[in-house]
Chains A and B, each alone.
Chain A
Amino acid sequence: MNKKISLLVDCAEAGYCCDKKQYNEASFLEKIKILLHLAICKPCRKYASNSTKLTKLIEKSDLKSCPEEEKKIWKETIEKEISK
């Protein structure tokens, strides 16, 4: 029925579109899909709102990631110490 322009998507696809939106990578079409799907699906509305919250929390927490080179050095030191 709706094969030509499938704007009505299932929850799985809506979920992926929602995630993309969180990283500002959703296309215009995907945004419309989200809107249409959220209008008819309560669980996905909840997922979308939680996902937005998660993004905000991560932004707020200002997490820093530990540099990878440093991790490598630590790993090597630990392995050396163990094998002693």
Chain B
Amino acid sequence: MSINKIDPTKWVDKYSDYLFNYTITRVNDRELANDLISETFLAGLKSMKNFKGEASERTWLISILKRKIIDQYRKINSNKGRAEVKIKYKEDSNDGDWLEEQAPDRFDKTAEDIMENEELGLAILNCMESLPEKQAKIFKMKTIDGFDTETICNEFNITPSNLWVIIHRARTTLAQCLEKNWF
């Protein structure tokens, strides 16, 4: 069995999107998700010695993150029953923040759909990990964040035809990977 090595300096680049999507589907709050992930990284650093290399780094980080999320659920539960008045939204004038949280669930989506979509998202990110770093970054910016071609070209200092070559390679790899694992 191959032994997996641990390298914390790569964690953020490699896994933060995966961890973020994993968390956001469970806690549904961006700030909380950020806090939980940062706690996970710290806990990971502390217990690095215990990493035996039997699982992949990501699996190991996810297992830490799971504990953090469960702790979070417990915290919420222990607060139940206490009188709770939420006037948060009227207090601070952070409009924009609340729109996302207050929107009603979509009626045409069943629990199964949501579960499947979450797994799908993680499967896609999993495939993206096999892409070279720059390709993955550009592909994410273009496809998920929806930046336009010009912005990305300026940022990475490349020509549009460079960009399309990179996008093409990324799409080919991803389509193959997903064909194996998903289609």
Point out residues on A near B: beta carbons under 8 Å.
15-16, 19-20, 22-23, 25, 47, 50-51, 53-54, 57-58, 60-67, 70-71, 73-75, 77-79, 81-82
Interface residues of chain B: helix, strand, loop or mixed (majority): helix
Across the interface, do A63 and B21 meet the contact criterion of CB distance under 8 Å? yes
A-B pair number, CB within 8 angstroms: 97
Across the interface, do A54 and B171 meet the contact criterion of CB distance under 8 Å? yes
Chain A residues lying within 8 Å of B138, measured Cβ to Cβ, are: none
User: Given A58-B144, A65-B144, A66-B20 in contact, is the A77-B41 Cβ separation under 8 Å?
Assistant: yes
User: Given A74-B16, A82-B45 in contact, is the A63-B125 Cβ separation under 8 Å?
Assistant: yes
Q: Would you list 19 pairs from A and B whose C-beta atoms are within 8 A, ordered by A residue?
A: A16-B161, A53-B175, A53-B178, A63-B121, A64-B144, A65-B20, A65-B140, A66-B20, A66-B37, A67-B34, A70-B16, A73-B38, A75-B12, A77-B38, A77-B41, A78-B8, A78-B9, A78-B45, A79-B9
Q: Which single member of A51, A60, A66, A78 contacts B120 (CB below 8 Å)? A: A60
Q: Which single member of B24, B41, B149, B171 contacts A64 (CB below 8 Å)? A: B24
Closest CB in chain B relative to A18 CB, distance in Å: 8
